Amino acid sequence: MTSLRAATHTSLSLVGDELRSVIDLLASGEDDALDEFADAVAGASRVFLMGAGRSGIALRMTAMRLMHLGLVVHVVGETTTPAIGAGDLLIVASGSGTTGSVVRAATTAHAVGATVCAITTASDSPLVAVARVVVQVPAAAKLDRSEQASAQYAGSLFEQAVVVIGDALFDALWRAGQQSADELWPRHANLE
The conformation of residue 72, written as its DSSP 8-state character, comes to: -
The conformation of residue 79, written as its DSSP 8-state character, comes to: T
Is the Cβ–Cβ distance between 96 and 130 less than 8 Å? no
Rg (CA), the chain: 17
Distance CA 163, CA 58 (A): 5
Active site residue 78: no
In 95-179, which ranges are E strands? Answer: 115-120, 133-136
Is the Cβ–Cβ distance between 46 and 73 less than 8 Å? yes
Distance CA 121, CA 97 (A): 7
Per the residue annotation, which of 18, 78, 147, 159 is the catalytic one? 159
Catalytic positions: 159
